[in-house]
Structure 1
């Protein structure tokens, strides 16, 4: 994939166009920071990237093991701090429909922990991934 170029439109709004398929993503600053708040904020997108990555990596590991994870969800909880404004914590609660034995669950949990987005975010913003039992 080619580099992503983010364009600032003004009024605290940016957009990025996917270089392969032309899909456009709009980012707005939140209303509490005088943005429009009509789209995802950059920190919302970071949270969504984390959740999507966790599920994708788990699905890849599941596929190898013959497990289908359709219907799985990752709920990402983001806490913002001020001075400086930043994400202070991210939590991911994963819900996978069905029952898995201990070995299958450990495989999926290890995959979630190996998510590349999770790995790069191992900075001063601890990320907890929680398995949510049915």
Structure 2
């Protein structure tokens, strides 16, 4: 069974629908590539998916350890390269509770770095991940 359906909406925009939930995602080409930048670009979604996947896998590990990560935040920055136009680097910064033990920190960081999206991205895409404990 398919995961999603999508359609080209014109003007460099797409709309994808997740079949199981009915949720939709709109994309727009970025301003620096002929778009209006009024929604996530496809490459923004790739970078955001990396952060979301890392957080999801950390959440699974945290639940096993009876650790609550509710409220953890992260920022993602995408760096494009020109020839050929592609994602060159993804910077992620996670802000986690300072109360986590060294053992919890190590297991969460390992979980993040080995999430399915991180392991699926082309190895030429540099992944710079920072964990701040505040």
Q: TM-score, normalised by structure 2?
A: 0.93
Q: Give the equivalent residue in structure 2 for 1:11.
A: 11
Consecutive unaligned residues in structure 1, runs of 5 or more: none
Runs of 4+ in 1 over 3 A off after TM superposition: none
Q: Note the aligned Cα RMSD (angstroms).
A: 1.4
Are residue 29 (structure 1) and residue 37 (structure 2) matched? no
**Residues 73-128 of structure 1, C-alpha deviation per residue, up to 9 Å, x if partnerless?**
12112111112111110111111124111111111111111210011014211212
- Cα separation, partners in 2 of 1:122 and 1:31, compared to 1, 3 Å: closer
**Aligned-partner SS, 1:5:** strand
Q: Give the equivalent residue in structure 2 for 1:112.
A: 112
Q: Give the equivalent residue in structure 2 for 1:132.
A: 132
Q: TM-score, normalised by structure 1?
A: 0.93
Conservation of the 8 A alpha-carbon contact between 2:26 and 2:40: yes
Q: Give the equivalent residue in structure 2 for 1:91.
A: 91
Deviation at 1:61, TM superposition (A): 0.1
Distance in 1 between the 2:122 and 2:4 partners? 23
Consecutive unaligned residues in structure 2, runs of 5 or more: none
**Aligned-partner SS, 1:110:** helix
User: Which one has the bigger strand percentage?
Assistant: 2
Q: Give the equivalent residue in structure 2 for 1:44.
A: 44
What is the number of residues matched between the two proteins?
134
